[in-house]
C-alpha cells in the first residue's frame, strides 16, 4: 500500500484528516445551534413582567443605532452595535432588556439577541435621561443585510 515518506499508509492519513474535518463540522454545528437557542434561553430566564412593567415598555426611544466592525487579536472580525436609549417615561429604570432583531434582504429575522444597556451603569436611568451602549457580536449571519437591528424593550425593572 502506498504511503508517505515515513511509511504511514495513505488510508490512515485519509482517516485522520476525515476525523478532523468531522470534528470541525460538529463544533460549527453546535456553535450555530447554541447561538440560535441562546436568545430563547435568555427569554425563558427573564421574569414575566407585570402589567405596570408591560405598560412601561413603550416608554423608551432608541437612537443613533450604527454598526461597525474591527479585527480582534486573533484576526477574527468582531461586529459592534453602538446606540442610545432614552427613558421617555416618568419612572426611574433599574434594568432594561432590549431585543435586537437583525434581518436579511427579505426582512426575515436572521439573528435575535438580547442586550442589557443599563448593565454597566452605576446609576439607574432616570426619566428623560439618555445613555449610550455598545453590544459586541463575534459571529454575524452571512444572510444579514448589514443594517442596524430593530430594537425593542422587552423587560424593565422600575425603581
pLDDT band for 7, please (50, 70, 90 cuts).
low
One DSSP character per residue, 112-130 reads EEEE-TTTT-SS-B-TT-E
What is the pLDDT, as a whole number, of residue 12?
83
* Residue pointed to by grid coordinates 407585570: 50
Mean pLDDT over 5-29 rounds to 72
Q: What is the pLDDT of residues 60-110, one digit of tens each?
A: 999 999 999 988 777 788 899 999 999 999 999 999 999 999 999 999 999
Indicate whether 113 pLDDT > 70: yes
What is the pLDDT, as a whole number, of residue 116?
94
Domain boundaries, the chain: 1-45, 52-158
Indicate whether 33 pLDDT > 60: no
Higher pLDDT, 143 or 41: 143
Are the C-beta atoms of residues 86 and 129 closer than 8 Å to each other?
yes
Considering Cα of 28, then 32, then 35, then 40, what sign does the dihedral take? Answer: negative
- The HSE-up count of residue 28 (CA atoms within 13 Å, CB side) is 7
Identify the burial level of 87 via C-beta atoms within 10 angstroms of its C-beta, where 0-12 means exposed, 13-18 middle and 19 or more buried.
buried
CATH of domain 52-158: 2.60.40
What is the pLDDT, as a whole number, of residue 86?
97
Are the C-beta atoms of residues 26 and 128 closer than 8 Å to each other?
no
Amino acid at each position: 500500500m502506498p504511503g508517505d515518506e515515513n511509511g504511514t499508509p495513505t488510508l490512515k492519513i485519509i482517516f485522520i484528516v476525515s476525523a478532523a474535518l468531522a470534528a470541525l463540522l460538529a463544533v460549527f454545528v453546535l456553535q450555530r445551534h447554541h447561538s440560535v437557542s441562546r436568545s430563547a434561553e435568555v427569554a425563558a430566564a427573564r421574569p414575566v413582567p407585570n402589567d405596570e412593567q408591560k405598560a412601561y415598555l413603550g416608554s423608551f426611544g432608541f437612537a443613533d443605532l450604527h454598526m461597525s466592525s474591527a479585527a480582534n487579536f486573533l484576526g477574527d472580525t468582531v461586529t459592534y452595535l453602538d446606540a442610545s436609549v432614552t427613558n421617555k417615561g416618568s419612572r426611574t429604570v433599574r434594568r432594561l432588556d432590549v431585543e435586537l432583531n437583525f434581518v436579511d434582504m427579505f426582512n426575515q429575522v436572521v439573528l435575535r439577541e438580547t442586550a442589557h444597556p443599563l448593565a454597566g451603569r452605576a446609576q439607574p436611568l432616570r426619566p428623560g435621561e439618555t445613555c449610550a451602549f455598545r453590544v459586541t457580536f463575534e459571529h454575524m449571519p452571512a444572510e444579514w443585510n448589514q443594517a442596524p437591528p430593530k430594537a425593542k424593550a422587552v423587560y424593565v425593572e422600575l425603581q
